[in-house]
Chain A
Amino acid sequence: MSWCIKVDKDLCQGHGMCHMEAPELFALTDGDGPYQLVQVLDERPPDALRAKAEAAADSCPNRVISIVEE
């Protein structure tokens, strides 16, 4: 069973909590609006990073990030 990281950029305000939790998976980039936006660096990371990805999803104040089973 594989998994991937999905983000809903419409809801992102660039708080950067995901980047603090898992810098190898998430970065922030400048957008057109007032906020920076999340950028997923690796949508299908190795299983070893699963716990970090979940922690990042859990830390997001806007609930932008989901871990999806494929």
Chain B
Amino acid sequence: MSAALPFVSGAVDGSHLGEFFTTPIQFLHRIYDECGEIGEFDMGGLRTVLMIGPEAHEAFFRAPEDQLSAAEAYQMMVPVFGEGIQYGAKPHIERQQLRMQYQGLKHDKMVNYADVVAREVNDFIAGWGDSGEIDIYEAFTDLTLKTSTHCLLGSDFRYTLTEEFADLYQDLEHGIDPSALLDPNQTKDTFDKRDRARERLEALIAERVAKRRASGEFEHDMLQLYMDAEYEDGSKLSDHEITGMVIWFMFAGHHTSSNTAAWTLLEIARHPQYRTRLQTEVDQLRADNPELSLAALKEIPLIEGFMRECLRVHPPLNAISRRVMYDFEYKGYVVEAGKNVMLCPHVAHKLPEHFKNPNMFDPDRPKPDNPFAEISFGGGRRKCVGNAFAVLQVKTIIAALLQHYDFELTQPAESYTEIMPALILRPSDPCVLRYQRRQNT
């Protein structure tokens, strides 16, 4: 005999869709406050069960893929990446594609990336002058588009990034909105644009691939890896698949990283009491390692602490979902097949049992004892495979900036808040900081 799942109050015509779309973070917190570790709500007919806390997270992440399916829960990504890619492919194909992505993120590749990111940051600040103001949300969106494409797709791709590419990419992004969760194939202007952008992007990338194949040149980047990769049966990726792999990579790593970099610099500016320690840290880093190497970047605990605390307090992704394929049991509750289960880092990271004084921002906070308490990158076998790259990228950006500039808020501290317009948490708009060149640099 299983217990009835607590169903959160406030449904309108049986559904919480409206509240989820307008105030998702507040809504997810409300479910936990009302129901506790496990609570159910309704997404326009799709029953969804929110699970909060390390034990629940562990059960979720250790469940087999054929029981809790990520592919079924994320079908909205299929028109963006393309049919036959990631969750639009059969599981054994998706597994091989993920292996190809992983090849570009292993430690032997990562050692090259720190230097590339640092060079991009130096280009980025070249025209800044001694002081000024900058919207760091916008600036980092632009910067990480460049660093990601540069590290992962090579310098030729990076330096020929056209306005057209940026526009197409934006049209794809606009194809991810709450309505796509329900039906990504409904007739809608933004979805039409998404599909046209996907088509045009494929033409651009196919052109690039053909050019490189004709020239016989070899580059150390992901594009090369995609071009050379083989499935287990010896077949190669088509241009359609290569394009999908590129888009998949960009989507996974772009806003998540840029928002985290923006939060990190924002919190550094909001907490000037750490300025001296931060300066000492980056000056020591530079004295020991004029080139920012992967090994050197491990030695900046306070910057890393700021970044990790930002991932705890302001996690970019807050609805980690799976479709239940056959009944899933947890502590006497049964979540039936056909429902979704969901984790929410924003809620889970504020549990006082695992994070002392959870509402205090503390860059010196130790890692929680339970490895499943902090889930900003997910967990288990489907944890974000780019997580080490993301950490490296944000640390490099922040360290390179702090070597040259100090940052402070231009608005009252409480005016910088969280918003989540497109399913990714970001700082409110505008997000302007003032920068001042450091005396001795």
Contacts and interface: CB of A to CB of B under 8 A. Distances in A.
A35 B440 CA distance: 46
Nearest to A30: B99
B102 A35 contact: yes
A11 B381 contact: yes
A59 interface: yes
Interface residues of A, number: 17
Contacts of A16: 106-108
Residue among A10, A13, A63 with the highest chain B CB neighbour number at 10 A:
A13
Contacts of A19: 107
Contacts of B381: 10-11, 13, 33, 35
B409 to A, nearest CB: 31
B391 interface: yes
Given A33-B381, A59-B298, A63-B371, A14 B102 contact: yes
Interface stretch (B130-138, B217-225, B263-271, B382-390): B382-390
A51 B62 CA distance: 30
A13 B102 contact: yes
Interface in B344-391: 367, 371, 377, 379-381, 383, 385, 387-388, 391
Interface in A1-45: 10-11, 13-17, 19-20, 33-36
B200 interface: no
B67 interface: no
A1 B295 CA distance: 32
Contact of B99 (A11, A20, A35, A59): A35
From DSSP, what is the main secondary structure of chain A's interface residues?
loop
A3 to B, nearest CB: 18
From DSSP, what is the main secondary structure of chain B's interface residues?
helix
A35 B101 CA distance: 10
Contacts of A13: 102, 381, 383, 385
B95 A17 contact: no
Interface in B84-142: 95-96, 98-99, 102, 105-108
A61 B387 CA distance: 7
Nearest to B65: A33
A15 B379 contact: no
Contacts, number: 53
Contacts of B383: 11, 13, 62
Interface in B280-303: 294-295, 298
B106 A34 contact: no
A33 B107 contact: no
Nearest to A32: B95
A35 B385 contact: yes
A56 B412 CA distance: 42
A55 B228 CA distance: 35
B102 A20 contact: no
A10 B383 CA distance: 11
B106 A33 contact: no
A33 B102 CA distance: 11
Contacts of A15: 105-107, 387-388
Given A15-B107, A16-B108, A59-B298, A34 B102 contact: yes
A34 B96 contact: yes
A11 B380 contact: yes
Residue among B98, B106, B294 with the highest chain A CB neighbour number at 10 A:
B106
Contacts of B371: 11, 63
B384 to A, nearest CB: 9
A61 B392 CA distance: 11
14 contacts: A10-B380, A10-B381, A11-B381, A14-B102, A14-B106, A16-B107, A16-B108, A19-B107, A33-B95, A33-B381, A34-B99, A34-B385, A61-B387, A62-B383
Interface of B: 61-62, 95-96, 98-99, 102, 105-108, 294-295, 298, 367, 371, 377, 379-381, 383, 385, 387-388, 391
Given A15-B387, A17-B107, A33-B95, 10 more contacts: A10-B381, A11-B371, A11-B379, A11-B380, A11-B381, A16-B107, A33-B381, A36-B102, A59-B298, A62-B383
Q: Which are the 5 A-B pairs with shortest beta-carbon distances?
A: A16-B107, A63-B371, A34-B98, A34-B99, A61-B388
